[in-house]
Amino acid sequence: MMSLELGRVSIRSFAYEVVKCEVEQRLIPLLASYSGHEHGDLLDLQDVFRRFSFDCICRFSFGLDPRCLRSSFPASKFAVSFDLASKLSAQRAMTVSPLVWKIKRVLNIGSERKLREAISMINELALEVIRQKRKRVGLTTEKDLLARFVGTINDDTYLRDIIVSFLLAGRDTVASSLTSFFLLLATHPQVEARIRDESDRVIGPGRVISSYEQMRELHYLQASVYESMRLYPPIQFDSKFCLEDDVLPDGTFVVKGTRVTYHPYAMGRMEKIWGGDCLEFKPERWLKDGVFFPENPFNYPVFQAGRRVCLGKEMALVEMKTVALFLLQRFDMRLASPHQTQRFSPGLTATFSSGLLVLVRERKASQASDS
């Protein structure tokens, strides 16, 4: 049901409207307020994109606006509880023995107590949003996911779990993909220039994209986004547990109960799949005669593959491409420490441990239209 709904053009257009509004009304003004400080304020783009993606996914899923991206950088209760719950869950997954957290959970102490409190805060807020939404059924023309489902799903707890899983799935992943994309653009100015050229050719010099449909013609941009996630997949590895004895396509026998892990980060850097230049950032590898050509998803499992493929893939691509188009047209960004090696923090989603500090400069009107 959810995949059918997300496959509709109307929901993709709605995703585009949400993202465009957040970009124009919050992201651009925020970056503009940081531009012009030649040696001045550095902006942590990773933090900005986390706030941005939380606002977007909440508006898309619930029709709720946590306003995390206002320039005062307010801390939303919802976002703080989300952060805490994600961090504590990741820590659980990394403990040597699950026995430790299981005992803490039974005794309701330490990290398990904090996790329980954070989850109940999220659940309360989510249920309140659902109750409010039910009151408005038939009275408004809201287009978010929740509004599409309140009429057909009567079980509030089930509805809450669907929506919360969307927030979880669609926040840090998008923030991570945007952060590494802008890192790669900052270190590959020739790719940045080609994205601007393509945008000028398809959309028009100095003009901003006006519809979701226009985006389909931007093949080089699509290739750049895919290429960036090949090198920096937001979910670097993922595990599944085998329910029954099984045999993998290469003939490997897997006994029931085995944990099987696939590793998109390693796969994205394998010569066997991508050739000798696998470590280079080369969007061209995704183009045939200038047209984007997708790789077999089993070789590129960034959104997973098969029946449990990511349901928000299109929304994620819309978000990334919209942000790229608007920001590249308006700003130049330089890394504060161009030679710094980025290290990842431990966690469920790839995050740079020192953020991504940049200097922002607004492009002159002439540059923006002649690029």
For residues 203 and 320, which CB has a smaller minimum distance to ligand HEM in the complex? 320
Of the candidates 326, 328, 232, which has an alpha carbon nearest to the alpha carbon of residue 23? 326
Return the residue of 48, 235, 327, 360 that touches ligand HEM, per CB under 6 A.
235
Number of residues engaging ligand HEM in binding (CB under 6 A) = 19
The verdict on 166 binding ligand HEM (CB under 6 A) reads yes
Any binding-site annotation on 56? no
Please give the span between the terminal C-alpha atoms of the chain, in angstroms, as a whole number.
44
| Helix axes 45-61 and 77-94, enclosed angle (nearest 10) | 110
Residue 86: closest CA among 48, 53, 51, 119? 119
Cα–Cα distance between 24 and 68 in angstroms, integer? 15
Q: Tokens for 280, please give them.
A: 């280079």
Neighbours of 257 (CB within 10 A): 10
Site for ligand HEM in 243-272 (CB under 6 A): none
Smaller CB distance to ligand HEM: residue 177 or 222? 177
**Contact letters (x/-) for ligand HEM, 292-311, by CB under 6 A?**
----------xxx---x-xx
Nearer of residues 215 and 360 to ligand HEM, judged by Cβ:
215
Question: Closest approach of Cβ 307 to ligand HEM, in Å?
Answer: 8
| Residue 260 beta carbon to ligand HEM: minimum distance, rounded to whole angstroms | 12
Q: Does 173 bind ligand HEM (CB under 6 A)?
A: yes
Q: Choose one: 130-138, 169-177, 201-209, 325-333; the region binding ligand HEM (CB under 6 A).
A: 169-177
The values of phi and psi at residue 259, to 5°, are -90, 125
Residue from 11, 58, 221, 316 in contact with ligand HEM (CB under 6 A): 316
Near ligand HEM by CB under 6 A: residue from 234, 268, 283, 355: 234
Do residues 127 and 150 make contact, with C-beta atoms less than 8 angstroms apart?
no
Q: How far is the CB of 351 from ligand HEM (least distance, A)?
A: 13
- Ramachandran angles phi, psi of 254, nearest 5°: -125, 125
**Residue 84 sits in the site that holds ligand HEM (CB under 6 A):** no
Residues in the chain: 371
Is residue 336 at the binding interface for ligand HEM, with CB under 6 A as the rule?
A: no
The pair of three-digit structure tokens given for residue 223, joined into one six-digit string: 């290739």
Half-sphere exposure of 142 (CA within 13 A, CB side): 23
What is the rounded distance in angstroms from the CA atom of residue 17 to the CA atom of residue 360? 25
Binding site for ligand HEM (CB under 6 A): 165-166, 169-170, 173-174, 177, 234-235, 238, 302-304, 308, 310-312, 315-316
